[in-house]
Amino acid sequence: QVQLQESGPGLVKPSETLSLTCTVSGGSISNYYWSWIRQPPGKGLEWIGHIYDSGSTNYNASLKSRVTISVDTSKDQFSLTLRSVTAADTAVYYCASALFPRRITVFDFDSWGQGILVTVSS
């Protein structure tokens, strides 16, 4: 069974860059879309963007100017970079994907990492 695991710093200073990595184990990163989703404490879920194994990306317009998602297929990892962070970027960040065969769209997220809390504070 495929597992996803987020890693990265839990504390980032305002105006700096947030960088997270998701490692995919138990399966290949190839032929799927890989998403980042975040959830501010006590609030709802926001899709940040996704990447295909070819490197093709699609971002939420609300964050597009500050976000980059990249993939390293040799390591079965994909990464999130969010620039110029503020306190509003404090959230649990999840990596997720739609892996099951009967999915209807690439947004049917059946596989999630455990999440990593990133706090933006000086």
Closest CA to 98 of 89, 88, 90, 108: 108
Measured from the Cβ of residue 82, the count of other Cβ atoms closer than 10 Å reads 23
Nearer to other proteins, 54 or 114 (CB): 114
Nearer to other proteins, 16 or 46 (CB): 46
Nearer to other proteins, 79 or 113 (CB): 113
Is 108 an interacting residue with respect to other proteins (CB under 8 A)? yes
Taking the mean position of all CA atoms in its chain, how far away is CA 11?
A: 17
With contact defined as beta carbons under 8 Å apart, do 52 and 33 qualify?
yes
Output the six-digit token pair for 48.
Answer: 């940040």
Site string for other proteins, 29-68 (x = CB under 8 A): --------------xxxxx----------x-xxx------
Q: How far apart are CB 57 and other proteins at their closest, in Å?
A: 11
With contact defined as beta carbons under 8 Å apart, do 4 and 24 qualify?
yes
Q: Residues 38, 76, 113, 118: which binds other proteins (CB under 8 A)?
A: 113
Closest CA to 18 of 107, 83, 102, 87: 83
Q: Which residues bind other proteins (CB under 8 A)?
A: 43-47, 58, 60-62, 94, 96, 100, 102-105, 107-110, 112-115
